[in-house]
Structure 1
Amino acid sequence: MRQVSDSRTDSLFYKITFCGVLLSGAIAVGYLTAYVGELVPLLTIFISVAVVFLTVLFRRPITGLFFLLGYGFTLFFFSRELGLNIQWGIGQELLLLLTWIATVFYRDKNEWTVLSSDIVWLTVAWFGLSVLQIANPSGVSVMGWLNEIRTTALVPLLTIPLTMLLFRSQKHLNTFLKIGIIFSLLATLNGIKQLYFTLSPGEMEFLTENARTHMIFGQLRVFSFFSDAGQFGASQAHFVLICFILAIGPFAYWKRALLVIAGVVLFYGMMISGTRGAFFVLSGVLVGLLLTKNFKILAVGLVMLLCLIMFLKYTSFGQGNYHVRRLRTALNPTEDASFQVRMNSQLALRDYLQDKPFGGGLGSIGANGKIYNPGTFLANVEPDSYWVKVWAMYGLVGLTLWFCMMLYIIGKCCGIIWNIRDPILKIKLIALVSGALGVFISSYGNEVINRVPASLVVLMSCAIVYIAPRWDMKPDETGSITSVIKQ
Structure 2
Amino acid sequence: MSKVSDIYSRCYDKYFYLGLFLGLLIILATTVYTTNSISGILFACIPISCVIIFYLFKYPHFLLIAIFIINYIIMGICRYILDLQGGIVMDASLALILFILIVRTVFFTVDYWKRFNNPLTYLSLIWLIYCIMEILNPYTTIELWMTSVRGLGFYLFLFVVVTTALFKHYKYLKKILLLWGILTIFAVLKAVIQKFIGFDWAENHWLYVEDAAKTHIIYSGIRYFSFFTDAANFGCSMALSMVVFSISALYIKSKKLRVFFIIVAILAGYGMLISGTRTVLAILFAGYAIFILISRLRKVIIGGTFLVLSLFIFLNFTNIGESNSDIRRMRTAFQGTEDASFNVRIENQKKMREFMPNHPFGVGIGKAKHADSNDHMYGLATDSSLIYVWIETGIVGLILFISIFLFVVARGIYDILFHIKNKELKGIMSALVAGLSGILIASYGNEILQQFPNGPILYICMTFIMMGRYFDKEIENKEAENSKLSSENEYNSN
The bucket for the TM-score relative to the shorter chain is: 0.7 to 0.9
> Residue 458 and residue 307 in structure 1: after superposition, are their counterparts in 2 closer, same or farther (change >3 A)?
same
The amino acid of 1:131's aligned partner reads I
Query: Normalising by the residue count of structure 2, what TM-score does the alignment of the two structures yield?
Result: 0.86
Aligned residue runs from structure 1 range 249-398, under 5 A: 249-282=251-284, 283-366=286-369, 369=370, 373=372, 376-398=375-397
Residue by residue, what CA displacement relative to the aligned partner does 1:50-73 show, whole Å, maximum 9, x if unpaired?
Answer: 444323321111112211111111
Partner residue, 1:70: 69
Contact 1:439 1:454 in 2 (8 A): no
Instruction: Kindly provide the CA deviation profile for residues 363-403 of structure 1, in whole angstroms up to 9, marking residues without a partner as x.
Output: 1113xx25xx5652314210111111111111122212222
Q: Which runs of 5+ in 2 are unaligned?
A: 1-20, 484-494
For residues 476 and 200 of structure 2, the distance between their equivalents in structure 1, rounded to whole angstroms, comes to 58
| Alpha-carbon distance in 1 for matches of 2:376, 2:257 | 53
Structure 2 matches for 1:158-177, cutoff 5 A?
A: 158-177=158-177
Matched, 1:197 2:197: yes
RMSD: 2.9
Which residue of structure 1 lines up, in the alignment, with residue 81 of structure 2?
A: 82
8 Å CA contact 1:242, 1:432 repeated in 2: yes
Tell me, yes or no, if the aligned pair for 2:73 and 2:228 is still in contact at 8 Å. Answer: yes
The Cα offsets for residues 294-319 of structure 1, whole Å up to 9 and x where unpaired, read as 23212211110110010000000111
* Deviation of the 1:281 alpha carbon: 1.3
Question: Which amino acid counterpart does residue 454 of structure 1 have in structure 2?
Answer: N
Contact 1:474 1:482 in 2 (8 A): no
* AA matched with 2:136: A
Structure-1 separation of matches of 2:69 and 2:400 = 31
> Using the alignment, how far apart are the partners of 1:375 and 1:233 within structure 2?
35
Letter in 2 for 1:129: Y
Q: CA deviation at 1:251?
A: 2.2
Residue in 2 that maps onto 1:98: 96
Secondary structure of 1:205's match? helix
**Kept after mapping to 2: 8 A contact 1:473/1:483:** no
Distance 1:146 1:213 in 2: 29
Describe the shift of the 1:149–1:258 C-alpha distance in structure 2 as closer, same or farther (beyond 3 A): same
Please, which moves more after superposition, 342-351 or 215-224? 215-224
Equivalent residues of 1:151, 1:450 under 8 A apart: yes
SS of 1:390's equivalent in the other structure is helix
Matches within 5 A, 1:448-467: 448-467=448-467
Q: Rate the CA distance shift 1:78–1:474 in 2: closer, same or farther, 3 A.
A: closer
2:413 is the counterpart of 1:410: no
1:319–1:21 CA distance, 2 compared to 1 (3 A): closer
In structure 2, C-alpha distance between the alignment counterparts of 1:26 and 1:78, rounded to whole Å: 22
* 2:305 partner letter: L
Using the alignment, how far apart are the partners of 1:158 and 1:484 within structure 2? 36
> Matched residue of 1:114: which SS?
coil
Q: Distance in 2 between matches of 1:20 and 1:152?
A: 41
Task: Specify whether residues 30 and 445 from structure 1 end up closer, same or farther in structure 2 by C-alpha distance, changes over 3 A only.
Answer: closer
Give the aligned residue type for 1:378: M
1:374/1:463 CA distance change after superposition, 3 Å: farther
Normalised TM-score (structure 1): 0.87
Shift of 1:293: 2.6
The one-letter amino acid of 2:93's match is L
> How many residue pairs align between the two structures?
457
Structure 1 unmatched ranges of 5 or more: 1-17
Q: Which position in structure 1 is the counterpart of 2:240?
A: 238
Q: Match of 2:134, SS?
A: helix
CA distance in 1, matches of 2:384, 2:482: 42
Contact 1:472–1:484 under 8 Å retained in 2: no
Which region of structure 1 is more displaced relative to structure 2, 343-352 or 18-27? 18-27
SS at match of 1:472: helix
- Identical-residue share of aligned pairs (%): 28
In the alignment, residue 389 of structure 2 is paired with which amino acid? V
Give 1:342 shift: 0.4
